[in-house]
């Protein structure tokens, strides 16, 4: 029995000697890796915070501008009464009846349209009267008319009230006979 204990003691001592040195190396390696990771994280945070200050200011302003643009709801101005225009097509008399609404997001444009309503209606009637009846029967002709009306209304409001902001001219009723 004593011999067995001696063997066990002899085996335990060499393991402690070899294991103690390898355990110290392992602890040093783990501490070094943790230290390197901590330095890398600290450097990354420092560098990211330095570059974010300038980009945060500009991106915050851009986000604020986008939010302001989106937050303003669209306003629709219905031009009353409906527009009725007659056309001479060959020997027949033809008519166009159109209800038009203007879309904007600016209260200044709404006020300018109300103030200059007679001039705007005159321009719309003039443009509608100049159109070719057969061309208006096609979707392309109606789209061209909408574009033409929008361009002219932008021009009138710019010259008379010095405002811009008409986003669309919409036909809510378009009847041709």
Determine the pLDDT at residue 47.
Answer: 81
Residue whose pair of structure tokens reads 């902001």 in the numeric block = 165
Half-sphere exposure of 152 (CA within 13 A, CB side): 16
Task: Please tell me which residue, 156 or 48, carries the higher pLDDT value.
Answer: 156
Quick one: average pLDDT of 81-103?
Answer: 94
Whole-model pTM: value is: 0.59
* Alpha-carbon span 83 to 117, nearest angstrom: 13
Residue-wise burial string across 111-141, b where 16 or more C-beta atoms lie within 10 A, e elsewhere: ebbeebeeebeebbeebbeebebeebeeeee
Mean of pLDDT over the chain: 84
| Residue 97: strand, helix, or coil | strand
According to the model, what pLDDT value does residue 64 have? 59
Helix (H, G, I), strand (E, B) or coil at 105: coil
Domain ranges of the chain: 1-71, 75-176
For residue 62, is pLDDT > 90?
no
The predicted-structure confidence for 3-19, as pLDDT tens digits, reads as follows 555 555 555 555 445 55
């Amino acid at each position: 029995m004593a011999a067995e204990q001696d063997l066990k003691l002899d085996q335990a001592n060499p393991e402690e000697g070899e294991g103690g040195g390898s355990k110290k190396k392992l602890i040093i390696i783990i501490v070094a890796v943790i230290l390197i990771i901590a330095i890398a994280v600290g450097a990354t945070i420092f560098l990211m915070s330095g570059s974010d200050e300038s980009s945060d200011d500009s991106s915050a302003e851009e986000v604020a501008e986008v939010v302001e643009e989106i937050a303003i709801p669209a306003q629709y101005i219905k031009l009353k009464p409906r527009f009725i225009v007659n056309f001479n097509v060959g020997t027949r008399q033809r008519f166009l009846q159109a209800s038009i609404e203007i879309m904007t997001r600016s209260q200044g444009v709404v006020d300018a349209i109300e103030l200059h309503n007679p001039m705007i209606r005159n321009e719309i009637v003039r443009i509608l009267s100049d159109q070719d009846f057969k061309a208006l029967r096609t979707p392309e002709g109606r789209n061209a008319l909408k574009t033409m009306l929008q361009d002219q209304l932008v021009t009138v409001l710019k010259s008379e009230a010095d405002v811009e902001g008409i986003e669309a001219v919409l036909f809510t009723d378009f009847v041709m006979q």
